[in-house]
Structure 1
Amino acid sequence: MADKNMMFRQATGRREGLVLMLGSSLTIVGSVMVAPILPKLGAEFGPMEPNAALLVPMAITGPALAIALFAPVAGWLADRLGRKILLVIATLLYALLGVIPAFLNDLQTIVSVRLLFGCTEAAIMTCCAALIADYWKGEDRMRFINYQVVTIGLVGSLFFVIGGVLGEHSWRTPFYLYLLPILLVPIMMKVLWEPRQNTEQITVSDPEQVNAWALLVGYLLVFTGMVLNFIVPIQTPALLVGMGVTSSTLIGASAGFGLLATLAGSLTWPLMRRLLGIRGCNALLMLLIALGLWLLSNAQSYNDVLVAVFIHGIGAGLLVPNTMSPVMNALTTVTRGRGMGGFTSCLYMGQFVSPLVVAALMAQVGELRDAIVILALISLVGACIWMLSYLMPRHRAQSVTDNPVA
């Protein structure tokens, strides 16, 4: 039998990395580009659609539900059919389904198409994450996890602003930009390669069996974190309108600013991971999210909102890489697609549930700001739990080595 380490094919980190980073960014573009036009969708369909109050938000949250439900299936397909072929097919369907709402005049049909669109996003994100784990090991893998989150933040910030600007003219215009990923399809076919799925590819750094506890903690943390993170893009427009800020450009700019903060948080993650370890980073990110939400609940001006969104975004930028890396390293080679599909499912289920949680709290406390305060306190409690875990003597030494190397 050949040396197991010699059977692993390491990507160059140039062409493959660039393609996977661009592919990963499609998932954030899928939601941020339409968020600024929600008021115009409401104005267009509200008078003729009795369920507009439910269906208009579903235009942005619906794909998150579809991703959450379909991601485990996408992970299974990735393990059975192959990561590359599924990614290519999903990217093509992403472009075609993404542009269709621009030609529709029925809100229910738009939401239905957006749900199918979410299924393509599930496959894209699952395949990109699995290929990152397949192509790189150790610190190279950590670096590309961070590159992925940074790229998503940068592209998301750009397209949030672009969506707001284009939405000033018509709510239909931003949907045409979903055709752009068609240009990525032939590049994916040429640059990416299908990793071997037999056991001969397993290296000494691969776990022999799935670490179920690490997987469960990662799933739970990313779900909770996304419930807290998605408060900003979903609820901030309502708070701004309540302050008299109705311009879709300004609303889009505030969300884009938050995504830039997410980018900044992602850029600091490698340093924070080395200084604090996984547990310490979890405590820090939950604390920043709590502070950002508290400031948002007390904001009285547009500038106050920007400060809150920035602090919240720093914590949000730490969340995904700090949860994704332990999950990746808890999986075996042959379960990586399904495992990352589960991670994607929890991430987007948190996004979908977020406005429902806020609505449920508002039914109890009456005000959006009060509901946000309660969620800020929940995040603070989470920060304290992780801080206690970090400070425990038997875990503190391990926290530095918690940075997985596989």
Structure 2
Amino acid sequence: MNRPPFPVRLTLLLVSSLTVMSGATIAPALPPMAEHFASQGLDDAAFWSRVVLTAPAIGIVLTATAAGALGDRIGRVPLMLAAAVLYAVAGSAGLWIDGMGPLVASRVALGLAVAVLMTGATGLIGDTFHGRARDAFMGLQAAFMGYGGVIFLTAGGALADLHWRAPFALYLSSLAVLGLIALTLRRPSATSAGGSGQAQDTAPAGPTVPPLLLYALAALTFATFYQTPTLMPFRLEALGLHDRTTSGIIIATLPLVSATSALAFGPVRARLSAPLVMALGYALFGAGYMGVAQAGTPGAAWAWLAISGVGLGWTMPTLSVWLLSIVPAERRGRAIGGLTAGVFIGQFIAPLASRPVVALAGVPAAFASAAVLLGVAAVAIVALHHSLENPGTPQE
């Protein structure tokens, strides 16, 4: 099948980047936001400001599977058009809402929009790309989302210096993406439910496993990934680094290296089956985290974190490619919804899972525990690859 036109590919990448923007954009505004609501008499305003940041995850977890299934049933593009409008309205609500309850509710609504956009974009990628072309584009999607997260975080920080409400204006950018969706994705060649783009893959990327297993791996991946933004500042401080700017640069290394690594996903997948790429990614991810746990200087921790980023960059494209190759075309949206829910469940449980380890043995032990989990998962995936019938081979 011919590769979709550049405008179609660009639109799918831009839609994917909106999902990352949902959280990263307002992170720098949390301290002044907390001060604002504290001045209005809100108890524990710092806690509630963090809830504002994470509230979209609630909407995503609750609706992603249903949103994907609805896209399978009535078409992905109409839902994406409506979701882009909701994204702009709910996302920018912080510009004018002045109550914590309504603000949190608007963020949950934003999560619904993200669920539709993420399942729609990834479902369309599954519909229109196959084999190695899909592998390469999934890597490009992961890279685009990774770099986008850094850009949105930086832009949000610059706007937060003007006013805590200013970063919410960035969500209005979805209206530009709305125009691109309407112009480029409404063509039958890009979105037809019955066209060749919906054909089922003939060669699965890995063993045919219950999708729930891949959802669990997505949760594990992001639960361990979120150790870095939640615990790395404390690890660096214990190593003697007290400069917040340098600490932020070090922490940003993980998503930056991950995004760059994702660009190499296609060539890697051309040589290895999806389970082996996943296992290799987990092995590197875990080795880096174990190095962070053992590091004696901030520089050493930085280097080990970069190694983790290489492995992390291969994990999510692998899960998406593997999942899309084993589910029927008519259930792609539902399956991607489950994978998306798994990602955000992992984000939600990350601080809860690490809290008892940190309380009992400290931050290094939390990184070491995550490394062990990733190592065990890598070994289990290799064993699964060799034990199940019809092990995956690189697609032609």
| TM-score, length basis structure 2 | 0.86
Give the corresponding residue for 1:377: 372
SS in 2 for 1:276: coil
SS in 2 for 1:213: coil
Aligned identity (percent) is 25
Q: 2:180 aligned to 184, 187, 192, which one?
A: 187
Provide the aligned C-alpha RMSD in A: 3.0
Deviations 1:122-155 (A, max 9, x none): 1110000011111222222222212211111121
Pair 1:23 & 2:15 matched: yes
Unaligned runs of 5+ in 2: none
146, 153, 165: which is aligned to 1:172? 165
- Which of 76, 80, 87 is the matching residue for 1:87? 80
Q: 1:160 touches 1:255 (CA, 8 Å); kept in 2?
A: no
Are 1:78 and 2:71 an aligned pair? yes
In structure 2, distance between residues paired with 1:177 and 1:204: 38
**Counterparts of 2:296 and 2:161 in 1: how far apart (Å)?**
25
Q: Which of the numbers 97, 100, 103 marks the counterpart of 1:107? A: 100
Aligned twin of 2:314: 318
How big is the shift at 1:225? 1.1
The Cα shift of 1:204 comes to 6.5
* Distance 1:244-1:17 versus aligned 2 partners, 3 A rule: same
Judged with a 3 Å threshold, the aligned counterparts in structure 2 of structure 1 residues 282 and 22 are, in CA distance, closer, same or farther, namely same
- Contact (CA 8 Å) 1:36, 1:252: kept in 2 or not? no
Distance 1:222 1:201, change over 3 A: closer
The farther-off stretch of 121-130 and 73-82 is: 73-82
Q: Which moved more, 1:311-320 or 1:299-308?
A: 299-308
Measure how far apart 1:284 and its partner are.
Answer: 1.6
TM-score (norm 1): 0.85
Structure 1 residues not aligned, in runs of 5+? 1-8
- Following superposition, the deviation at residue 311 of structure 1 comes to 2.2
Taking the aligned partners of 1:266 and 1:388, their CA distance within structure 2 comes to 25
Question: When the two structures are aligned, how many residues end up with a matched partner?
Answer: 389
Q: Which amino acid aligns with 1:382?
A: A
Q: Residue 4 of structure 1 corresponds to which residue in structure 2?
A: none
Counterpart AA for 1:73: A
The 1-side partners of 2:5 and 2:43 are apart by 51
- Distance in 2 (CA, whole Å) between partners of 1:13 and 1:30 is 27
Tell me the distance in 1 between the aligned counterparts of 2:153 and 2:218. Answer: 23
| Aligned twin of 2:55 | 62
SS in 1 for 2:327: coil
Residue 260 of structure 1 deviates from its aligned partner by 1.3
Q: State the 1:389 CA deviation.
A: 4.8
Contact 1:240/1:246 (8 A) holds in 2: no
> Against the structure 1 CA distance between its residues 29 and 95, is the aligned structure 2 distance closer, same or farther, given a 3 Å change threshold?
same
Give 1:336's aligned residue: 332
Residue 225 of structure 2 aligns with an amino acid whose one-letter code is N
Of 36-45 and 106-115, deviating more is 36-45
| CA spacing shift, 1:163–1:88, aligned 2, 3 Å | same
Are residues 1:262 and 2:255 paired?
no
* Cα contact 1:294–1:372 (8 A) shared by 2: yes
The alpha-carbon deviation at position 254 of structure 1 amounts to 3.8
CA deviation after TM superposition for structure 1 residue 36, in Å: 3.4
